[in-house]
Structure 1
Amino acid sequence: MSQYENYKSLFGNLYQDTQIQLSAKMSEHTHFKVGGPVDILLTPNTKQQIAESIKICKSNNIPFYVIGNGSNILVKDSGIRGVVIKLCELNIIERKQNIIKAQCGALLKDLSEEALGASLTGFEFACGIPGSVGGAVFMNAGAYDGEISYVIQEAEVIDDNGNIIVLTKDELQLGYRTSLVMQKGYVVISATFCLQDGEKEKVKNRVFELTKRREERQPLEFPSAGSTFKRPEGYFAGKLIQDAGLKGFTIGGAAVSEKHSGFVINKGNASAKDILAVIKHVQEEVKKQFGVELHPEVRILGED
């Protein structure tokens, strides 16, 4: 038993038993389907539970990590010491005219469907992104010429003092795959988006077009964390990897996708070590052949 499992009682007055799991397999909570156990997994369903959980961890020097849908995370094979706070239970979406407010655990595809149902445009780009609102704001997620910064109005976050505050779009400092939330280690608990009135058929057609493009070009049949690398300035990561002759490159159960070289996939029996080895080899070869450094977009957590 890890030393941190002894701290379960600290959360007993805050959570129901079903919201606390010991030695939870992180392979069951990430899209990559790999990773060892976390000592304590918490699944809060109120923002007060999130804030209090973070305060408990900080006051007891317990390492903690906050995740959403697990779509952009790679957990190492020995797992995570401490606490993981998974926010998927906070998933309420509310709309008033062209303003949509969503809790951190709401899926982007569900927001896209809400917008389509109300004939609102601006969120079509997110229809195929498998992540949740919290993670999307954290990294300013984007696809197909759209990104969170284009539509967000404000976000409710927990700051490093445990206070719940509201940050405007400008205060969020959203850049390419970055934000103030990421830089400061804040936690997003909800976000408000301002969309535009549109024609329902046009919005529907755009969603259909992007969904079809994603299905045709991305290896959705395999576990992955989406695009593995950030886009290097002036280049496309997938093109560099393909030109380096790495399409299909395999170590153990991990491989560069034959369908889209920007994706490292789990072919079914990969370990996190395999995936990290493929990532490292790709970085080394692209640097060697083209002088370009590739930086992972996926968030890597845990111990080897």
Structure 2
Amino acid sequence: MSESGTTGDDHLQPLAWKLRSIVGEDNVLVNEPMSEHTSFEIGGPADLFVIPEDFDEVHDVIDACKQEGVPYFVLGRGSDLLVADEGYRGVIVAVADGLVGVSVDDDEMWCQAGVTLREASEMACELGLSGLEFACGIPGSIGGACFMNAGAYGGCMADVLKNVHVLHQDGHEETIPVDELDLGYRHSRIADEGMVVLSATFDLDRVDPEKIRETMDELTRRREEKQPLELPSAGSTFKRPEGYFVGKLVTDAGLRGYQVGGAAVSKKHAGFVVNVGGATAADVRAVIAHVQDEVERQFGVRLEPEVRFLG
């Protein structure tokens, strides 16, 4: 990580000092390479990278950015994110590094936004709580998963969420029940309204831990068999178009293995664009654009990226 020294951009100096007073000197990093904070392992430096450790600090950091008129982006695990080679001009608010609390009350599990889905599913399994098995191989955080209603293998967040505690754009916090979140395929009211997830509560079921483990092991086996987990990526690159499978469309278009620079369509699963070594964000964008254009030209279907772009 970068040193927490002075930022080279003079107009950010007042904000940098303000942020240090909120989260402490060690939790404000300058010119932090975003390649270290995304599953693609791609991305230039962020002007300021801030690690809040509780809900109040998240609120105060975002408020300070707004007061100074500096752009900010709330980062989870960076598992669906492509950051530009030039980096990000503004403040990255890294909630996954600090908000990692978990508590369990009977069959309810409460997780702060930075807890990974893998950690949450493992803890639930150990406690004999079923419902999060589908999430055992999803690389994101609880916050990001609620934001996009993450899902896999027939399950999704909407199935197990009880409520989500969020920070609204106007600065007030609210706990919102799941039926008011408008959760759909890779969609939520959280994303639509620019809320920040602070924590989530899950409503789970008591089941024999060995049965839960069997399910998780089977899903892990299937994932390892079919997905290019050995290479950096942002997971499924495109959203599934109704009535089609992305991998088949891309394969039928003759694009399996298509490569620009260090980025390529995976030969193992054509629904993934992977970093085969030294890929730049420009390489990835070029591959994505070519796949979109070719699939649309050949089959009349325009693929929509599931990857989010920053910078």
1:193 to 183, 196, 202: 202
Match of 1:247 among 249, 256, 259: 256
* 264 and 3 in structure 1: CA distance in 2 versus 1, 3 angstrom threshold: farther
The CA distance in 1 between the partners of 2:249 and 2:211, in whole Å, is 34
| Higher relative contact order structure (alpha carbons within 8 Å, sequence separation ≥ 6) | 1
Match of 1:44 among 52, 56, 72: 52
Structure 2 residue corresponding to 1:5, chosen from 8, 12, 18: 12
List per-residue Cα deviations over 1:40-69 (Å, max 9, x = no partner): 000111110101111111121110000111
Q: TM-score under structure 1 normalisation? A: 0.98
How far apart are residue 12 of structure 1 and its match?
Answer: 2.3
Unaligned runs of 5+ in 2: 1-7
Query: Does structure 2 conserve the Cα–Cα contact (< 8 Å) formed by 1:5 and 1:22?
Result: no
Identity %: 48
Q: Which runs of 5+ in 1 are unaligned?
A: none
Look up the match of 1:147. 156
- TM-score, normalised to structure 2's length? 0.95
CA distance in 1, matches of 2:250, 2:244: 11
Shift of 1:5: 3.4
Q: Residue 295 of structure 1: CA displacement? A: 0.7
Q: Provide the rounded CA distance (Å) in 1 between the counterparts of 2:120 and 2:36.
A: 24
Partner residue, 2:233: 224
Select which of 258, 266, 270 maps to 2:279: 270
Q: Which residue of 2 aligns with 1:214?
A: 223
- Residue 59 of structure 1 corresponds to which residue in structure 2? 67
Structure-1 residue corresponding to 2:23: 15
What's the RMSD between the two structures over aligned residues?
0.9
> 8 Å contact 1:66–1:84 — kept in the other structure?
yes
Paired residue total: 302
Does structure 2 conserve the Cα–Cα contact (< 8 Å) formed by 1:4 and 1:81? no
Partner of residue 32, structure 1: 40
Q: How does 1:132-143 map to 2 (within 5 A)?
A: 132-143=141-152
Aligned position for 1:68: 76
Structure 1 partner of 2:4:
none
> Residues of 1 paired with 2:270 and 2:20: CA distance?
46
Aligned match for 1:77, one of 70, 80, 85 = 85
User: 5 Å matches for 1:284-299?
Assistant: 284-299=293-308
Answer yes or no: is the 8 Å Cα contact 1:155–1:191 preserved in 2.
yes
Query: Could you list the per-position Cα deviations for residues 9-48 of structure 1 after superposition, in whole angstroms to 9, with x for gaps in the alignment?
Result: 1212102111000110001111101111110000111110
Match of 1:106 in 2: 115
